[in-house]
Amino acid sequence: MPSKFLVLDMFSGGGGLTEGFVRHSFDFLGHIEMDKNAADTLETRILYHNLKDAGKTALYNQYYRGEIDREQFIQMSEEEGFESPRVINRMLSDSANNSIIADLKSTLKNCYHRSDVDVIIGGPPCQSYSLAGRGKNGKKSENDPRNYLYRHYHQFLKEFQPRLFIFENVPGLISAKKGTIFNDVINGCSRLGYHLDKTAHVLNASNFEVMQDRQRIIFIGWRKEDDFSYPEFPCKRHTGTVKDLLIDLPRLQAGEGNDGIQSYRTGRQSKYLIDKEMRTEIGKVRHHQARWHNERDREIYRIVIKKWDKSGQRLNYNDLPEELKTHRNRGAFLDRYKVVDKNSVSHAILAHLAKDGHYFIHPDITQARSLTVREAARIQSFPDDYLFEGPRSAKYVQIGNAVPPLMAEGIAQKIYKMLNSSE
């Protein structure tokens, strides 16, 4: 039995799904991600894990504290014998796929002495499938070429013949283009010799102890000759609230904070933070910088928070005082302002957070601002030692598009057991 199973990671993003499989000791043939910032994040995180496994986190901590820059961190890691992971920063396309596949097959042959992988994981960008995206963009969404990125996934299934695969996406995939996308995903896998349930399995991240109400379709397929079945995932309900998740982070007014290291507000941790090992070993935290907001928006935020705290009701835009209304459209998107529920789980963190924070307002009325990168990352279950590369907007996008690591870890655990049982 191999000590590790081999994974090909597609549409990797900033590495949320990847993180779950790394934690369960899967080995990676490579990672494919078109966005440069996300690819850099993935490279940084995998180097962190490699250094940690070797007991050399001191080097990573230097980078985290800002004592060395990223170029020095990569170079010093290589000098310590840790090569950069195989992160392929390219867009999948009919013209690019052949060279990517050839490079990966060469690595398979020369480094692993095999022609296939055990698992392929990933999910194509989901904006064109999301109900919110379709509602805002209409025909533009219908004709979005990203609707068909799953066909590249089919090509890699054919070329690398994994035992199992995980294909993740938004529930809107079920109804996208009147169900034709959903059926094409399944039928394409079936033609390649894989079994895939024709009933969509929609899982909620909150059942994996993520502090967030986040639904995702998780397709799990396997070769038809294998005697597998879709795993049963236990319902592990969260043991705390968003307040427990954010309680130790420095309180910030709009525009305060920075992307560098800051001390935790308090040494005291909630049970959830302790159980999920959220805080860093160096006792400092990064990516905690509040957006600047004008006073009109901050006043709206206070009204939104006050209404939610008092009645548990969301604000209708038309209920704002006239002097605070600036949008001419008074018939659509009336829930454009939304506070995170401090007494339960958050609503789903989305990549739209990169554009404005109106839909992700911090629950503390004394702060009256939107979530920082670190707060959004915590709600997604990323630990504080997880560094995101690129400008702030890119960090928000990576976090919003990610599979929460705790959810990914639960999925990876089941996949490992399925593969291990057949050895």
Report the C-alpha gap between 305 and 309 in whole angstroms: 6
Report the C-alpha gap between 92 and 98 in whole angstroms: 10
Report the C-alpha gap between 219 and 126 in whole angstroms: 14
Coil, helix or strand for 114?
coil
- The residue from 111, 126, 189, 235 that is catalytic is 126
Report the C-alpha gap between 92 and 88 in whole angstroms: 10
Question: Own/partner pairs for 250-254, CB < 8 Å, 24+ apart?
Answer: 250/288, 251/364, 251/366, 251/367, 252/288, 252/289, 252/290, 252/367, 252/369, 252/372, 253/290, 253/367, 253/368, 253/369, 254/290, 254/291, 254/292, 254/293, 254/298, 254/368, 254/369
Contact between residue 280 and residue 260 where contact means Cβ atoms under 8 Å apart: no
Coil, helix or strand for 1?
coil
Name beta bridge partners: 68: none
CB-count exposure of residue 214 (10 Å: 0-12, 13-18, 19+): buried
Is-catalytic flag, 111? no
Report the C-alpha gap between 219 and 282 in whole angstroms: 38
Q: What are 159's two structure tokens?
A: 């070329």
Q: What are 253's two structure tokens?
A: 């007014």
Contact between residue 191 and residue 135 where contact means Cβ atoms under 8 Å apart: no
The C-alpha R_g of the chain, in whole angstroms, comes to: 22
Which residues belong to the active site?
126
